[in-house]
Structure 1
């Protein structure tokens, strides 16, 4: 859709209410709607926390969110873009703009932890919600339900969508949804993420490419017949050495990290299979592509040197975030109107018990405060970034964890499974809902956001996924065998 056609659509679809701001009564009704659903939000978040399903395996988590949305009157299209756990839920109330809210729900491997303020792993559980995506999904659908009710009450035209996006943690699920054109007609996309404070950000994230390099050699007795063997592990180690020397000769800000996922089973057997899993990051997607090629060259050289063969599987790849000041102003205003979560005495006591275990000590009162608009770049990566290059996008974080908590930690898992996590989710749901409602009423704001995005990405920009034309890596979290 062209910008002119989009503007026309917005003006026609929302003609009776074009550019009318939300009234205090409407704001109060939306936030009260979210408050009325706070118990359900907490229950959904806790259920997904207990499922703790990793990327592309979030069968129960996705099904629960879809079930709740269907009950609330949304039409759900499941299994989109070649991903069984991905979905798009829609509520359409006549012709008008399409506003999207993102929902994530995947867990991280190796972080099983109870909801207690002391390190207590859960025996037999392989994963945990160290990034709080259980609260992410629950809060996003709660916001959507509140906006839907508001649209009906006030006869607001347009379409509200919830995108159920699997495998954010390294699987790049949203990339395949973008590549499939599922965001092509979206006027604005809103998202949020759990954190240890309340803030809206327009800073860049890290673009990245990730992949697994699999070396294949020849097994032999490591002592009796070492000359007959060709060690796949040698290939991995030579590649790692070459890549580590490469670090001196890459652009400033480049990050390269890896883990050896398979290296053989016994020292006296020359391993015929070994695997190493790499990430390359930078805020500039072009630099990521160039450095990734050099890492790939190191792999090819290592295979030649070790007498092995190597193959590579791209498991993920994302752009850096394209910030949008127009939308950020809307979300910042609404987050400030909502304010941070208010803890009970019991919740503060829980926070005080976990605080000594945190590497960074922050004032617990900061959880109740809203920070100024954030413009600093992030060290992490997210597949939300790809969406930001095809539709205006903005996000916020809320205090779902105790201030000072790092993401991907047992402390984040613990908070995400309890009352503090759920309260942060309520704040996020309110800010998302108020922002979405305001945008439905603001065609000029949507047009300005689109113009800002078009200018930032350049007139010649054409979206091309960093993962190329590969299909979603649905088994990327499963152990690799030879």
Structure 2
């Protein structure tokens, strides 16, 4: 296995020019949730050229895929790419605040960045494939395209459709985004539950608002009182949820709820109320039961808002992702590989770019502009100790990410690697554009992507070879689930809804005016 790992690492180094270019391509696409058409097509074409069989549109999701490659009978190792960005984060790979060419700042862009997340994982799978071919290692690689991660979109759907059931192990990689998870793996405290839900209000019978014996015979008369309508209901929902949030959960619960307005309107300057409005909530919390409790509260608020504003309401599901499940055996094996590869290191060109950002912001450029932690390892048990010091003892999970869906179908590791992050003077916070720009500049992001590819490949090979890693990881998986899939403590997929494709998700559009973002540039 040592020789196979050496082959994999040599493959990554030899292909870093290609991997870097692929990463920048996805970063430049900057597509957002459920609308990653070019990004998904790029991956599908690339994987087919690399010898994978690819199912496009897996799980009924147009921008998802499932790619497989085999070298005979053996373990099945899963991994994935994400490639959705975030609206409002359109930033050029320049050391100044500026949108990408031809776009405005409200367009989509990569923040984490998922562009490097996906290519770090893919680079690892391609390197594992090369090592399997060179050394006659049997097994199968299964690589997924997972769209809409920012709304926890695809993984619950893939899981419920059975796509993960044949996996023997899964590897999840994410760029560092919060201390102490930098150049380490998660140990006990994995991500928690993520629930996404859309409340839709409709005003279908405005003519009956305050109707009486003397009502106008003309429906929606200009002289008649106007029904509040859907926009008013949505505003009432928004305000009520804000005002009564503290009454939904008991004091001391660690949870978050974010909202965004997806669509509103059809109202004009005429005396016609808005016919339809939608507001989406996303809930991040530790346990499924707590998430269900919050939904009951939101349902109550929606019912009250609709009644007040002469509307009806419906609830639509966007996401129901399960909490994570630890696997120490696979986590320790992955971290051992990370120790062998070493944390990412940044060169002079990356440092110059970082100092140019500092200068642009009016700061004194630093001799060492990057945070030390992005080039330092931290043992997973030490990272766990530091995190637990900030959490209530009763809280099992922290933050939200839907890699957790893999955890209930196979032993899964969550790998975090340092991405370029700037040191700040005391009391100073960098604007978001600075981090986004670093994620698109190859000398800044490639060191992380290379380490990810090497570690992912090495871990896949550990699971494919006669190393004892897979046996230990699967024994631990069975123990934690009460017997594996279907066991006594196994948590089944929560997804009981179709892919939420047809809502007004932000996207790039082409009209007679050309290609633009839905918010005009």
- TM-score, structure 2 as length reference: 0.80
Pairing partner for 1:182 from 163, 172, 176: 163
Give the secondary structure class of the aligned counterpart of 1:163: strand
User: In the alignment, does 2:402 pair up with 1:414?
Assistant: no
Give the secondary structure class of the aligned counterpart of 1:130: coil
Instruction: Give the total of aligned pairs.
Output: 457
Give the secondary structure class of the aligned counterpart of 1:227: coil
Match of 2:352 in 1: 349
Q: Which structure 2 residues correspond to residues 5-404 of structure 1 after superposition, within 5 A?
A: 22-23=1-2, 25-122=3-100, 123-124=102-103, 126-195=107-176, 197-202=182-187, 203-217=189-203, 227-244=225-242, 245-251=244-250, 252-262=253-263, 264=265, 269=271, 270-354=273-357, 364-373=371-380, 374-375=383-384, 376=387, 380-403=399-422
Give the secondary structure class of the aligned counterpart of 2:401: coil
Segment of structure 1 superposing worse, 220-229 or 149-158: 220-229
8 Å Cα contact 2:120-2:450 kept in structure 1: yes
State the alpha-carbon separation in 2 of the partners of residues 407 and 72 from structure 1.
40
State the alpha-carbon separation in 2 of the partners of residues 278 and 206 from structure 1.
16
8 Å Cα contact 1:103-1:191 kept in structure 2: no
Segment of structure 1 superposing worse, 252-261 or 390-399: 252-261
User: In the alignment, does 2:472 pair up with 1:448?
Assistant: yes
State the alpha-carbon separation in 2 of the partners of residues 257 and 408 from structure 1.
21
State the alpha-carbon separation in 2 of the partners of residues 325 and 339 from structure 1.
20
Tell me how far 1:146 sits from its aligned partner: 0.8
Tell me how far 1:345 sits from its aligned partner: 1.0
Tell me how far 1:408 sits from its aligned partner: 11
Match of 2:451 in 1: 427
Give the secondary structure class of the aligned counterpart of 2:495: coil
1:281-321 deviations in whole A, cap 9, x for unaligned? 21112211221122112111221222211112111221122
State the alpha-carbon separation in 2 of the partners of residues 262 and 75 from structure 1.
38
Q: Which ranges of structure 2 fall in alignment gaps of 5 or more residues? A: 208-218, 388-395, 508-517
Structure 1 residues 137 and 408: alpha-carbon distance in aligned structure 2, compared to 1, 3 A threshold: farther
Match of 2:390 in 1: none
Tell me how far 1:238 sits from its aligned partner: 2.6
* CA RMSD after TM alignment: 3.0
Give the secondary structure class of the aligned counterpart of 2:225: helix
Q: Which ranges of structure 1 fall in alignment gaps of 5 or more residues? A: 1-21
Structure 1 residues 206 and 225: alpha-carbon distance in aligned structure 2, compared to 1, 3 A threshold: farther
State the alpha-carbon separation in 2 of the partners of residues 247 and 267 from structure 1.
37
Pick the structure with greater CA Rg: 2
State the alpha-carbon separation in 2 of the partners of residues 239 and 267 from structure 1.
24
Structure 1 residues 409 and 363: alpha-carbon distance in aligned structure 2, compared to 1, 3 A threshold: closer
The structure where helix makes up a greater share of residues is 1
Structure 1 residues 396 and 223: alpha-carbon distance in aligned structure 2, compared to 1, 3 A threshold: farther
State the alpha-carbon separation in 2 of the partners of residues 27 and 157 from structure 1.
15
